[in-house]
Amino acid sequence: MSDKLQQHRTRIDALDDELLKLINERAEHAKAIGVLKNGVVYRPEREAQVLRRVKDNNPGPMSGETVARLFREVMSACLALEKPLSVAFLGPAGTFTQAAAIKHFGHAAHTEACSSIDEVFRKVEANIVDYGVVPVENSTEGTVSRTLDLLLASPLKICGEVDLRVHQFLMRKKEGLQDIRRVYSHAQSLGQCHEWLNKNLPDIPRIPVSSNAEAARLASEDESSAAVAGEMAAELYQLQKLAQNIEDEPNNTTRFLVIAQHDAAPSGKDKTSLAMSAKNKPGTIVELLSPLAKYQVSMTKLESRPSRMGMWEYVFFVDVEGHQLDENVAKALQELESKAAFLKVMGSYPIAVL
Ligand SMILES: O=C(O)C(=O)C[C@]1(C(=O)O)C=C[C@@H](O)C=C1
């Protein structure tokens, strides 16, 4: 071994010893905080602040994204010493929703697959799990309306959001595209990879199934089948990834919400999700939204859905920048309350950092 290489390795060993000591010292502080808190240990606003701080102070050469991901895992492990968290997600195992849950809570959280979005809500409401992660919108497929309907009816709060780039892979048990007889995937994913499939597997039947993870499971049982799914599903079912990022739209992103019995305290860069309704007469929405403009509260999303409570009534789902305790947001909400037939604050939470 060259002298130079040995010198670097000796230095790395010394630094690892220091890191080990420092990480454990950090963990001791988290444990002590856990005892002081005596209740809810997960603090989304503090986690967002920690991640933003390491990104801002990062001297490189590692990217801000990379250091934030490393600290995400460190915090996840520290929190597990305070109390192990359980997180329900829309399953089965290997779905993008599970990837979003791990991206948000780190690998130390225990993730639990549910068979429907309703079941995720039920488990959090019944305190069977601490948190839930559900999809709410996709940049190409649009809104997940079941999530909005359940948010409207549920006493649960939104305490976080997760943005996940959706990358699709073609996978099967063995190498090579030859003698593939069928391709399984969720209908939406087959749609998202339409052009790649037309070009590379033009005459092979595409079979829609209930989820991408189910597609991967089926492909793991039959060598002549392939699946379109995410990387986690390939790892879970030990499939070969034959082609990556095969989606037609390179910026395909899904947004997920974290639901809980509580929302988050202000972190400095927050969002608030609202649901409101008014009689469906001309100009109503403009009047409803006027307090937001008056107090300079920016809207990041506006969506309407039939309220199901009366024939011509709609519910507007509005996301605004800021926390409900921020002065301008609080004033706007107060005024909105007097104008709206119905107003529900579904939660204030930190804008996604990772
Ligand atoms: O600051 C706290 O409240 C902690 O418990 C420590 C810590 C961390 O590791 O930094 C861990 C879990 C919380 O969700 C937030 C932060």
Cα–Cα distance list, 81 to 22, 31, 260, 324 (Å): 16, 6, 20, 31
Q: How far, in Å, is the centroid of ligand 1 from the Cα of 30?
A: 6
The answer, yes or no, to whether any atom of ligand 1 lies below 6 A from the CB of 33, is: yes
Q: Which helix (H) or strand (E) holds 169?
A: strand 169-172
Contact partners, residue 304, CB within 8 Å, separation at least 6: 285, 314, 315, 316, 317
CA of 166 to the centre of ligand 1 (A): 29
pLDDT at residue 265 greater than cutoff 90: yes
80 in contact with ligand 1, CB cutoff 6 A: no
Grade residue 309 by pLDDT with cuts at 50, 70 and 90. Answer: low
Q: Mutate which of 22, 23, 70, 75 to test ligand 1's pocket (most atoms within 8 Å of Cβ)?
A: 75
Q: 3-class SS at 176?
A: coil
d(CA 31, CA 107): 18
Torsion (CA) 164, 166, 172, 177 in degrees, nearest 10: -150
Q: Helix axis angle, 44-57 relative to 64-82, nearest 10°?
A: 150
pLDDT tens digits, one per residue of 159-186: 999 999 999 999 999 999 999 999 999 9
Task: Tell me how far the alpha carbon of residue 59 lies from the centroid of ligand 1, in angstroms.
Answer: 23
C-alpha–C-alpha distance, residues 126 and 114, integer Å: 14
Q: Which residue segments constitute the domains of the chain, with CATH numbers given? A: 3-81 (1.20.59.10), 85-166+253-260 (3.40.190.10), 170-244 (3.40.190.10), 270-350 (3.30.70.260)
Q: What is the Cα–Cα distance from 206 to 213, expressed in whole angstroms? A: 15
Sign, CA torsion 240/114/89/303: positive
Is the minimum distance from the CB of 51 to ligand 1 under 6 angstroms?
no
Q: From the CB of 93, is ligand 1 less than 6 Å away?
A: no
Highest mean pLDDT among 87-96, 102-111, 141-150: 102-111
Residue 199 in this model has a pLDDT that exceeds 60: yes
